[in-house]
Amino acid sequence: MRKSIALLLVLTCLLAACGGAEDASEEATAENVEFPADAAMDGAPDPVADAALEDEMNSVEDEALDAAGAAEAATAVLEEDAGLVADGGL
């Protein structure tokens, strides 16, 4: 049993000694990372606005506003009907 514990202790120490030699406390900066973001974007074209997409977005926005207006009108009708029911009008 003592031999097993001694062997386990030796193997644990050997395994711990196999770790990397780099200092993990060093903070990451643009100069020491593997592939800085600026270098990744070198040569990439600048983004441009897509006119067709903007037109589609405006169309969708107009449809949403129309739907909101219709929902408000329907809510007003329901509230009016609810008021009539509460007053015993229907």
Dump pLDDT digits (tens) for 40-71: 778 888 888 888 888 899 999 999 999 999 99
Q: DSSP strand E in the chain: where?
A: none
Dump pLDDT digits (tens) for 18-39: 655 566 666 777 566 666 666 7
Please provide the DSSP assignment of 10-28 as one string: HHHHHHHHTS--S-TTSPP
Give the predicted TM-score (pTM) of the model. Answer: 0.38
**Boundaries of every domain in the chain:** 49-90
